[in-house]
Amino acid sequence: MRMERLSQDKIRIFLTFDDLSERGIQKEDMWREIPKVHELFSEMMDQAYSELGFDASGPLAVEVFAMPAQGMVVIVTRGKMERDAEASSEEELDEDVYEMEVTLEQSEAIIYRFRDIEDAIGAAKMLNGRLTDEGRMYRYQNHWILCFDPSAGSETSNDNALIAVLAEYGEATSVTPAVLEEYGQLIIPANAVKVLSDHFA
């Protein structure tokens, strides 16, 4: 389980499928209200407090992004406390209860970000001619991002190999293709792996 602070009121948590299976949770369980998922969330909030000083009291907006063969990205945003006199009953002040608004999204796209262009080029050279020559490249929030759409009939083993190479040079990101299209700067619209490999041979 890896976490980072995005702002004063927002954190991002990356869970691998190993993290989930160790706790007896299947990917599909994240869509259900079950005690194991609540225990996992409490554990995440405890770790966020000890590692990042993130106090998860009050209303929380929780976005869960499922990514193929990679795991889950959970983004937790703390809202402003708005308790009026009537809402301050003893039950609602129970510190172990989180007010959560959960949004679940599943993206079949494989999206990785790279701190510098050299890392993206390194990944592209490893992929080109072996696993894929496709992909789009974006510039978004000071990162270079490679986005691979799901291909029809794509084998899981091929996806796993693709992800293994990308993870060696970059890191998974929770940004969605829709966000990249709207807010990102499209650098290479198609065959990004081939273009990067050929241009920086």
> Is residue 74 exposed (0-12), middle (13-18) or buried (19+ Cβ within 10 Å)?
buried
CA 95-96-100 angle, to 5 degrees, is 95
Distance CA 52, CA 10 (A): 11
Q: At residue 23, what is the residue type?
A: R
Under 8 Å between Cβ of 78 and 7: no
pTM: 0.60
* pLDDT, average across residues 70-98: 58
DSSP H or E stretch at residue 3: strand 2-7
Cβ neighbours, 10 Å, residue 156: 9
pLDDT tens across 93-113, in order? 344 445 556 666 666 788 999
Distance CA 145, CA 190 (A): 13
CATH fold of 110-199: Alpha-Beta Plaits (3.30.70)
Average pLDDT over the chain reads 81
Domain ranges of the chain: 2-106, 110-199
- Band (pLDDT 50/70/90 cuts) for residue 86 is very low
Cα torsion angle, 169, 69, 143, 2, sign: negative
What is the SS3 assignment for 46? Answer: helix
pLDDT score recorded for residue 68: 64
Q: Which residue has the higher pLDDT, 33 or 149?
A: 149
Strand partners, 73: 14, 65
Give the CA diameter of the chain. 67
